[in-house]
Amino acid sequence: MENEFSKLTENVLTKEDLISLLEEIYFVENLIFKEKERKLSEKIEGKVSPNLENFVKELEKREKLKNLKEAENIFENLKEYLLSLPQIKLKIAFNPRRDFQERIAKVFDKKLILDFEVDPEIIGGVIVEYGGKIFDFSLKRNLERILKEEFYERV
């Protein structure tokens, strides 16, 4: 199932995307046991993202949702998969547009959830938090360093 989960998350770039997908999954889970005679894909049609709709249709085609308990397990495993995706926090000076987010996501060789924080005080560049480490590539830090060096050289 991990391959299917991976395909579903291709367009999940940011923490906001992740939260939105998780909310849709909770919505779908609430419908699994309601109106049992209707297909799940019919119950969610137009109410969730096309990617999630297609995911459910594919599961139905492969008869993975016939057993309600199995369906519940699939969505539980999907949530666990989503929550296990590594996240990287990026503090930048502006609110990034989608095309910028996509370019940043392509920089990494594995699936990461981008958690953007806007802080205009860093002026430019980025502060990266990943794996318990902080890397400061901000213009503010560089300017402070240069000013400090220049000030001490003249004193």
Q: Quick one: how far is CA 81 from the chain centroid?
A: 11
The chain-wide mean pLDDT, for the chain, equals 94
Q: How much of the chain exceeds pLDDT 70, in percent?
A: 97
CA–CA gap between residue 34 and residue 43 (Å, rounded): 9
SS3 117: strand
pLDDT at 59: 95
pLDDT at 36: 86
pLDDT at 147: 87
pLDDT at 104: 95
Tens of pLDDT, residues 76-85: 999 999 999 9
pLDDT at 16: 97
pLDDT at 153 over 80: no
- What pLDDT band is residue 127 in, cutting at 50, 70 and 90? very high
pLDDT at 92 over 80: yes
Domains of the chain, residue spans: 2-84, 87-154
Tens of pLDDT, residues 133-144: 999 999 999 998
Which pTM was predicted? 0.88
Q: Quick one: how far is CA 49 from the chain centroid?
A: 14
Q: Report residue 75 as tokens.
A: 């969505």
pLDDT at 109 over 90: no
pLDDT at 154: 67
| Residues pairing with 135 in the sheet | 128
Single out the residue of 82, 107, 114 nearest to residue 6, CA to CA: 82
CA–CA gap between residue 35 and residue 112 (Å, rounded): 37
